[in-house]
């Protein structure tokens, strides 16, 4: 009986130790590409496992503000509410990279002029159909929230509504490749389809690149390991991953 109890205790401790070694990370869609590139090397170097959840930027932001439990959250500005929430460690604030909103067309299609605000306005109004991530009134994808603001700046938000096409279960790039839309707009880091051409970023006067900033959660049970992960995401090793994902590292 004593031997059985000891064996069970050892198994329980081993299980608890393994669970403690798995870190949880949440991030907006713009971080999908670099996270996919960086985590395998991080896990190999440190022996730590990371469960990453990549979701809509607005929803991720609200998870942090509500106090959901994870180890490392990544958010985009403005994040005053995150800092004031009490759910992150303030001195852990770590800028990681920024990513621009870009225009994409199907490979081989003519590249529209997007060199100025007026050119972008003309391009959008001339398009038969476009698509971009759903901003959901600030609660959806960070790229969608950003592009909603761009259309408001251009004074064409209402005019563009009938041209926006989204199909449940069909990705933005699939819509573009199969010809359902003329133009796709999203983060540069989200475009990996070889059948798509990136025309370029939107002009800064109407679209500021989105900053991505990491924190250690105030609720983490492994603060040192969480800081280790955050340091790696902002290290020299991460620079090449951000650049490969068309992002600008900090």
Q: What average pLDDT does the structure give for the chain?
A: 90
Structure token digits, residue 35: 């996270």
Task: Specify whether the CB–CB gap between 181 and 131 falls below 8 A.
Answer: yes
Interval 75-110: pLDDT, tens: 988 889 999 999 999 999 999 999 999 999 999 999
Start-end of H helices in the chain: 2-20, 32-46, 57-66, 80-84, 117-126, 142-154, 157-160, 172-177, 223-233, 236-244
- For residue 57, what pLDDT is reported? 85
Compute the Cα dihedral for 49, 54, 57, 58 and give only its sign.
Answer: negative
What pLDDT, on the 0 to 100 scale, is given for residue 41? Answer: 96
pLDDT at position 54: 92
Distance of alpha carbon 25 from alpha carbon 75, whole angstroms: 11
Query: All domains of the chain, ordered by start, with CATH?
Result: 2-96+211-249 (3.40.190.10), 101-201 (3.40.190.10)
């Amino acid at each position: 009986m004593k031997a059985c109890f000891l064996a069970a205790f050892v198994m329980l401790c081993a299980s608890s130790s393994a669970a403690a070694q798995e870190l949880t990370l949440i991030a907006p869609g713009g971080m999908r590409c670099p996270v996919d590139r960086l985590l395998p090397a991080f896990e190999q170097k440190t022996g730590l496992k990371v469960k990453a959840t990549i979701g809509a930027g607005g929803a991720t932001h609200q998870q942090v503000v509500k106090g959901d439990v994870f180890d490392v959250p990544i958010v985009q500005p403005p994040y005053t509410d995150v800092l004031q929430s009490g759910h992150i460690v303030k001195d852990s604030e770590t800028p990681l990279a920024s990513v621009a909103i870009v225009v994409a067309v199907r490979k081989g299609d003519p590249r529209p002029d997007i060199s100025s605000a007026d050119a972008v306005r003309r391009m959008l109004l001339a398009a038969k159909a476009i698509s971009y991530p759903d901003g959901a009134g600030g609660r959806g994808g960070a790229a969608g929230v950003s592009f909603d603001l761009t259309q408001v700046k251009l004074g064409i938000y209402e005019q563009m509504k009938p041209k926006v096409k989204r199909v449940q279960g069909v990705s933005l790039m699939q819509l573009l490749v199969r010809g359902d839309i003329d133009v796709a707009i999203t983060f540069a880091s989200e475009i990996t389809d070889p059948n798509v051409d990136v025309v370029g970023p939107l002009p800064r006067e109407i679209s500021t690149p989105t900053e991505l900033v990491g924190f250690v959660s105030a609720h983490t049970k492994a603060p040192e390991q969480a800081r280790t992960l955050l340091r790696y995401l902002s290290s020299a090793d991460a620079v090449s991953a951000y650049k490969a994902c068309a992002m600008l590292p900090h």
